[in-house]
Structure 1
Amino acid sequence: MLKIGELNELKVLRKTDIGYMLTDGKEEVLLHNNETNFQKLEAGQTVETFIYYDHKARLAATLSKPIITTNRPGFVVVKDLHETLGVFVDNGTSKDMLVSKDFLPYDQTLWPQVGDKLYCILRHKNRLTAKPLNKVDIDLRPENPLKLGDKVTAYVIHSGHEGLNLITQEGHKLFVHHTQMREKHRMGEELEVRIARITPGDYSGSLIETKEIMMDKDAVMLEEFLKKHGRMALTADSDKEAIDAAFGLSKKAFKRALGRLYSERKVIFENGETIWIKGE
């Protein structure tokens, strides 16, 4: 019996005008020429195929390898949005899979956007759809533990009143309390999370960027220099090597700190120099 939503080992029965008929010994299914990945098959040959429903709801086969199946979850990328249906994700085959709006937040502003990642598994109930997995259903076992202060890329799997549940590509599960974020974040959104607390089997993180703290410190350093010297031969357009030599800052950090001083009307820029004006 054909396993829908799964990989099947099938035998090539015969060639047709539009493709190949495959069989498991009991049922037959069409492998269209467009789904052969340009392979030429011979009668009697055994091939590994993914069985799905085509756009006319007919069973079909493809030699393209799916990212997720009915027993193998994984990360899939959002390809399209449909406000009355849900979102469609790329499963590595010619047919994108629907994530029903039933599995998405009631607030559509928190729906995944194109390019976001969801951790899903296929679901077969009269048709194939993709279902996002929640924290308790995800059984990834990352090889390397995280450390306090680590910054990791993670994807939102649930957004609630208390905060966010996220998962890294490797499978680390994270929680960010609402006090550790400055805005709402949508399901599937990629975020950089700083690990703030570790308990057995659990990580808590923060989205409040440490760069904000560093910007304050860097701005104070520049302010003290300018108060003492009155000016410096550096601006946001200066070479990164010169900035590093003078203050040991990256150009990005230097621009952030300088921008802070400028927004506070403490400096002006003239002839390639930054000039201290506070108090004048």
Structure 2
Amino acid sequence: MIKLGEINTMEILRETDHGVYLIDKDDEEVLLPNRYVPERFKIWDKMDVFVYLDNEERPVATTEKPYIMKGDFALLRCNQVTDYGAFLDWGLVKELFCPFKEQAFKMKPGGWYLVYCYLDEKTNRLVASSKTNHFLDNKNLTVKPFEEVDLIVSHPSEIGMNVIVNKKHSGLIYKDNIFRDLSVGDKLKGIVKKIRPGNKLDISIGQVGYRNIEPNAERILKALQDNGGQLALTDKSSPEDIKEELQMSKKNFKKAIGTLYKQRKVELKPDGIYLI
């Protein structure tokens, strides 16, 4: 069965004036327009194509990869707003529709919005929604403490930054654990730091506890190498100076230089750290 909003592996069945028709293992056909047909091909060649509905609501295939597929989150630009809703640039000829009812805030042309793409069962259309929390569920968690996870920055809050965890759950990175600039739509790795009552996920950008020592030690070594073997930082340096120089907390900094000192890789002096 042809799956809208996904990559389908199909075979070339026949050539027409408008393009070639592809067929899947269930004998369902879809048109690949001429603009996407390879210069050289043979009947029964296999192709990976993305399938969606064209302007006349007919399934059509393309070899182009959209910025977002069904079941994914992505930051997309709003190209236009009509009486029906907003239309977003997702890298294809036909824009992705976001109804007004699926807009967390009223979209404006030129604005960028984090959205989720899903198949509307009533219309059989692929549509976008900026109400991303509606597509996240923390009732049945699929993660555990100290597990590495994929993150998408969702939106800021007064106490930190909300993130989407593994495209399934919602989580929070507290302000005191943010040591780099984060923007909505950023994708990065993180660690489940803690699971609080109600299955609320506390997320850390770095690793947790003693797991944090080695990566930070490596970061300090690299910074020393890049700065001629010396850093003007000590255990008395301000958290702000450490964050600006190394993008880590003072607590993790002290642990890391302690490790490097014990390994006799650095020398600690009143005016800074020196590479041995």
TM normalised by structure 1 equals 0.49
TM normalised by structure 2 equals 0.50
